[in-house]
Amino acid sequence: MAIFRDLSKHKNGTSDRVAGDRTRHRDLVRDAIKEHLPDIISEEAIIGKGAKNTVKIPVRSLKEWRFKYGPRDDGVGQSEEAQQGDEFQIGGKKPGKGDQAGDQDGETIIEIDVDMDYLIEMMFEDLELPFLDEKKLSELKVETHTHWKGLKPHGIEPRLDLEASYIEKLTRQMASKRAKKNLSVDVSEEFGKLAKKFPFRDEDLLYHSVATKQEPQSNAVIFALMDVSGSMGSWKKYLAKAFLFLLYRFIKLKYQNVEIVFIAHHTKAFEVPEADFFHLGESGGTMISSAPALVLKLIETRYPPHLWNIYSVHCSDGDNYSSDNSHAVETYKALLKVANLVGFVEIAEENSQRTLSGAMGNILAEAIEDPHFQIIRLQDKQDVWSGFREFMKCDKGGS
């Protein structure tokens, strides 16, 4: 009679056995993952609210070497349909068909789960915010975290240290016992009842004292500007979102005290909450100047330049009301006076070859010569990643 054991509920046991080896394997295929980054970040699923925490990445599995035979010259197969002279592709499919999740010898493509955070970290490991002004550091100290630092006799209940308090009480009790022995008067009658009812006296109680650590931090604010006018179709909006999403994840990863302000515009600009930013619809005409104008206003009211490193990234297809063009240039020039870095990301139509000569990008490029002003052009999915890296490395003389 066999023995049966039900382990299906004990998930923490056997199922995690392989976690260590999977992690090690994932680290070893890290380079392979890096190769795939441009594709991964273009995947729609990682953008916006529905962003998952793990991403499946197809990678070529790491080779395990051994002495083995080269491609075979011959062999034996099995198939009902085989006729003499029939041609097959090794790998199973008839010629012409592609090869997915293939299982050819040594060339296995496997999908591994990679934590989104690990991925982001890998993507951004060699990047920093450009033109970050170190001078601002000394002016602003930021409270990074609080920590317990010693005990004190007063405080709030959540910070009560019971153990220390109890020791205090015992010490007092033992001391009073000794004292009572030396007293001629028996005070236990009077104090006895009280002592039993209220074992702890106020003077016994000890509380954690809390101190906050202060560290100098760079202070930065990023203005993410998105053109949501009618000409921004879903493809262009998608590229814009991808770029801004990268920026967003990057900032969150690297910097603790960075604020991101989301601004959408058509003919008018308006601030929107983060949750909505990546899901806006589009309509209306385009007045590109409206966006940087709003930025300038917010800088005036909320983000004084002497305290904040200011960045602004504007994604648009560059298709502006021509009457607005000169105003846009002026507004941008004004913005450049106070900002560390201003980016204009011009998004072209999918598969189009032309650069719009009347488009904003060109106009701005001609009018403004300033290393702190960067124009990035996006056309394909691959451009998102390479454009982003270029943008991030612009103060290092290009990647």
Partner 1 sequence: MSTEQGYFIPDLEEWNKRIEDLAASFGLDWYPQEFELVDDSMIMSTIAYSGMPSHYPHWSFGKAYERQKTLYKYGMGGLPYELVINSNPSIAYLMDTNPLALQILTMSHVYGHNDFFKNNINFRKGTRAELALEFFRASADRVRSYISDPSIGAAAVEEALDCAHALMYNCPRVPGTKYVSQEEQRKELLDGSKNVPEDEWSHLSTKKVPVVPNLKRLPLKPEESLLLFLRDYSARRLEEWEKDILTIVYETFSYFMPQIMTKIMNEGWASYWHYKIGRALNLPASLRVSLANFHSMVVRSAENPFVINPYHLGFTIWNDIERRYENPTDEEKEKYSLKGGEGMEQIFRVRRTANDASFLEAYLTKDLMVELNLFSFVADEDEAYVDELPDDDSWKQIRQTLVRDVGMGSFPVIKVIDGDGSGARSLVLKHEFDGRHLDSKSAKKTIQCAYHFWGRPVSLETTTFKRHVPYVFSYDGEKSSQSRKK
The residues that touch partner 1, with contacts defined as CB under 8 A, are: 1-9, 11, 13-18, 20-26, 28, 61-80, 82-92, 95, 100-101, 103, 106, 108-112
Residue 34 has a CB neighbour count (10 Å cut-off) of: 14
Instruction: Answer positive or negative: Cα dihedral of 325, 328, 334, 340.
Output: negative
- Closer to partner 1 by Cβ: residue 67 or 198: 67
DSSP structure string for 296-331 = HHHHHHT--TTT-EEEEEEEE-----GGGHHHHHHH
Q: What's the closest the beta carbon of residue 42 comes to partner 1, in angstroms? A: 22
- Closer to partner 1 by Cβ: residue 82 or 170: 82
Instruction: List the structure tokens of 32.
Output: 């392979």
277 alpha carbon, distance to own chain's centre: 16
Contact 274, 260 (CB under 8 A): yes
For residues 125, 127, 132, 136, the Cα torsion angle rounded to the nearest 10 degrees is 0
| Residue 235 φ then ψ, to 5° | -65, -50
Q: What's the closest the beta carbon of residue 50 comes to partner 1, in angstroms? A: 20
Q: What's the closest the beta carbon of residue 80 comes to partner 1, in angstroms? A: 5
Instruction: Answer positive or negative: Cα dihedral of 67, 72, 76, 79.
Output: positive
Q: What's the closest the beta carbon of residue 55 comes to partner 1, in angstroms? A: 14
Residue 393 has a CB neighbour count (10 Å cut-off) of: 15
Contact 218, 137 (CB under 8 A): yes
Q: What's the closest the beta carbon of residue 164 comes to partner 1, in angstroms? A: 37
- Closer to partner 1 by Cβ: residue 9 or 354: 9
Contact 119, 55 (CB under 8 A): yes
User: What is the identity of the amino acid at 268?
Assistant: K
Question: Among candidates 119, 90, 21, 91, which has minimal Cα distance to 62?
Answer: 21
Q: What's the closest the beta carbon of residue 125 comes to partner 1, in angstroms? A: 21
- Closer to partner 1 by Cβ: residue 23 or 188: 23
127 alpha carbon, distance to own chain's centre: 13
- Closer to partner 1 by Cβ: residue 82 or 174: 82
User: What is the identity of the amino acid at 204?
Assistant: D
- Closer to partner 1 by Cβ: residue 95 or 397: 95
Q: What's the closest the beta carbon of residue 98 comes to partner 1, in angstroms? A: 13
- Closer to partner 1 by Cβ: residue 73 or 134: 73
Q: What's the closest the beta carbon of residue 39 comes to partner 1, in angstroms? A: 17
Q: What's the closest the beta carbon of residue 311 comes to partner 1, in angstroms? A: 39
- Closer to partner 1 by Cβ: residue 112 or 164: 112
- Closer to partner 1 by Cβ: residue 68 or 135: 68
Contact 114, 55 (CB under 8 A): yes
Buried b (16+ CB within 10 A) or exposed e, 255-265: beebebbbbbb
